[in-house]
Chains A and B, each alone.
Chain A
Amino acid sequence: MSGSPAVRSGVSGVSGVSGVSGVSAAALFLLGGAALAGSAAVCVRVGSGDVGYADLAAALGRRLGLAAEPLPPLIDSLVWDLRLPRVLLAALVGASLAVCGAALQAVTRNSLADPYLLGVSSGASAGAVAVAVLSVGAGSVGLAGGAFAGALVSFGLLMLLLRRTGLDSSRIVLTGVVVGQLFTALTSLVLMTSGDADTTRAITHWLLGSMASARWDAVAACAVAGAVGAVVVQACAPALDGFSFGADTAASLGVDVRATRLVLLVTTALLTSTAVASVGAIGFVGLIVPHGVRFLVGPLHRVLLPFTALVGAIFLMWADTLARVAFSPQEVPVGVFTALLGVPLFLLVLRRRGEL
């Protein structure tokens, strides 16, 4: 052993959770689950209006069919129709984006990869603009519907351009950038030529991401997409480890490289599209959460992915709560806070890993 043992044990000692014992990882995960539940309760409570934990319990209890003291309708509505779906949506979107980021970083072997790498957020904004400014769909589809359709169209174009290729890493990244640029340009073109000042402002706000319009239907959509996506990505966990040394080594370890990449691209694109359509393009979660969690539990995906989902959920829940209350009654787009919170955390992780 050479070098500085103190630094080294600081690095591999912490990441030692990954392989050595499933027991400590499981205990840590339970702890994280408790932190998630606790955070959710606190985040529901915080904000304008006097809401206590008892109110939350009562609102939940009534829906679960338990005999509970009926709440005043205003408080009940605040908890059940506004706060709770918003907090849950933040958790689901945070988890989805973080898992997508972790998967795409491994698939493309690019530590800068994030869920928007595939260009779906640009497609979503183009779709949203088409609905809001050009009235495509004549009012039959909302902003979310337009955004989801736009995301699918851009992903379809991406896959069309990637057809008959081996889906190799650099080609995915470059084609994704190209497709993203195209749809960004289309969005700008429509906004500049046809949009009025109010629409432009509304769209810009939406692009930065906001959970303000969170409702139960969006929660349901993200929960279904998130559950399916999480299972599919988790099933690919060994393959994602195999990609560490490139496609040929992965193949020699029994990974069907092209099929795995295809499954992961489609899954992450659908998951990201659902998230973006619900709340806009919230940046930074999908980039930094996987890096931070890798630092905590090591890079083995079987352990990394569940923890990434957990931390992503907690992180976005708190970022959104801050966005809601920090400059109350004015609400700041949550993307601003994910960056404001994320940048220092990220720098800390890089520093501890000796990369800065």
Chain B
Amino acid sequence: MRITVENLSWSVPGGDIVRNVDLEIGSGETVGLIGPNGSGKSSLLRCVAGVRTASAGTVRYDGRDIRGWSARRIARHTAFVEQATESETDLRLGDVVALGRMPFRSRWRGPDRADRAIVDAALARLGLTGLRTRGWRTLSGGERQRAHIARALAQQPRCILLDEPTNHLDVRHQYELMDLLAGTEQTVLVALHDLSLAARYCDRLVLMHRGSLVASGPPRAVLTPGRLRDVFGIDAETGHDGLGNLTVACRGVARDPA
């Protein structure tokens, strides 16, 4: 699914969190959303996911403006994995993943056979099959994070939006997740803090700074030492590892950030 963001702003009393963002994501593309804390990544994701209504501008799915769409209609197109996933619930992991079938189900019925097959596949894809009957509170942070990603896959969305999904994941699971996201046919917009990981797996990076989109393009075009200093305030150099992947090596905090 193609996502088009036009002149999007999202404001709270006291200021603009997202300012005049224009962004086009092609169908099946994997795009990394990067930027320092408070640059507006999460807010942009929420607007694209339709859980916040933009103060100005439009979000289009395959060219159609989603303003006025019901939450259910949006949920049938797009899945969203939030950053914070705390819950007091004692739902079992399998039940949490099954929440992904909600947008397709009558409110009076539980999951049917087809739903269960989809949930099973999502659990298997994240390596969670053995944990399906475990209570939420007995799971580790990484297991919970993977459960939410499985829940998003069970939604069978045409676009997945993820807010720092590699948080809490050990190194292997970080790479597994990024392999999965880069390999899927679905459109992916993923906020990431690990720049090397973002550079390695994303077709394109989108850099945000103070609510505005300041750069967009292939990783090596976006991640330049000058931008890393101006936007992230770090003194860094880029290079390549033995496999030809772009790497970002940080030497420290920049002396005189812009």
Contact = CB atoms under 8 A, between A and B. Distances in A.
B74 to A, nearest CB: 7
Interface string B49-91: 1110000000000000000001111111011101011111111
A22 interface: yes
Interface string A229-263: 00000111111011011111101111111000000
B102 A254 contact: yes
When A and B form their complex, which 10 residue pairs have the shortest distance between CB atoms, in order from nearest? A254-B75, A254-B72, A252-B80, A254-B103, A244-B89, A251-B51, A248-B51, A253-B102, A254-B71, A256-B71
B95 interface: yes
Contacts of B80: 248-249, 252
Interface in A57-110: 109
Interface in B242-257: none
Contacts of B73: 254
B90 A15 contact: yes
A252 B49 contact: yes
B138 to A, nearest CB: 6
A324 B20 CA distance: 69
Contacts of A244: 87-89, 91, 96, 99
A3 interface: yes
Contacts of B37: none
Interface residues of A, number: 39
Contacts of B79: 252
Contacts of B125: none
A300 B82 contact: no
A353 to B, nearest CB: 8
B85 A238 contact: no
Interface residues of B, number: 43
Given A245-B82, A248-B82, A251-B50, A235 B108 contact: yes
A123 to B, nearest CB: 29
B238 to A, nearest CB: 34
A47 B100 CA distance: 52
A15 B46 CA distance: 34
Nearest to B152: A252
Interface of A: 1, 3, 8, 11-12, 15-16, 18-19, 22, 109, 111, 234-239, 241-242, 244-249, 251-257, 294, 298-300, 302, 353
B92 interface: yes
Nearest to A259: B71
Nearest to B144: A245
18 contacts: A3-B138, A8-B134, A16-B92, A19-B95, A19-B110, A111-B88, A235-B107, A245-B87, A245-B96, A252-B51, A252-B74, A252-B78, A252-B82, A256-B70, A256-B71, A256-B72, A294-B90, A299-B90
A244 B137 CA distance: 12
Given A19-B94, A245-B96, A251-B49, 5 more contacts: A12-B135, A241-B91, A245-B82, A252-B49, A254-B70
B190 to A, nearest CB: 15
B62 to A, nearest CB: 18
Contacts of A299: 89-91, 95
Majority secondary structure, A binding face: helix
Contacts of A256: 70-72
Contacts of B72: 254, 256
Given A8-B135, A245-B85, A253 B103 contact: yes
Given A22-B110, A242-B102, A244-B87, A252 B92 contact: no
B107 A237 contact: yes
B88 to A, nearest CB: 6
B133 interface: yes
Given A8-B134, A235-B108, A257-B71, A19 B87 contact: no
A197 B250 CA distance: 78
Contacts of A253: 75, 99-100, 102-103, 155
Contacts of A19: 92, 94-95, 98, 110
A128 B220 CA distance: 73
Nearest to A244: B89
Nearest to B46: A248
A8 B110 contact: no
A300 B91 contact: yes
A303 B103 CA distance: 19
B88 A109 contact: yes
Contacts of B94: 19
A238 B101 CA distance: 10
A260 to B, nearest CB: 10
A3 B72 CA distance: 39
Contacts of A239: 107
Contacts of B99: 241-242, 244, 253
Contacts of B100: 253
B5 to A, nearest CB: 17
Nearest to B80: A252
B92 A298 contact: yes
A264 to B, nearest CB: 13
Contacts of B102: 238, 241-242, 253-255
A238 to B, nearest CB: 5
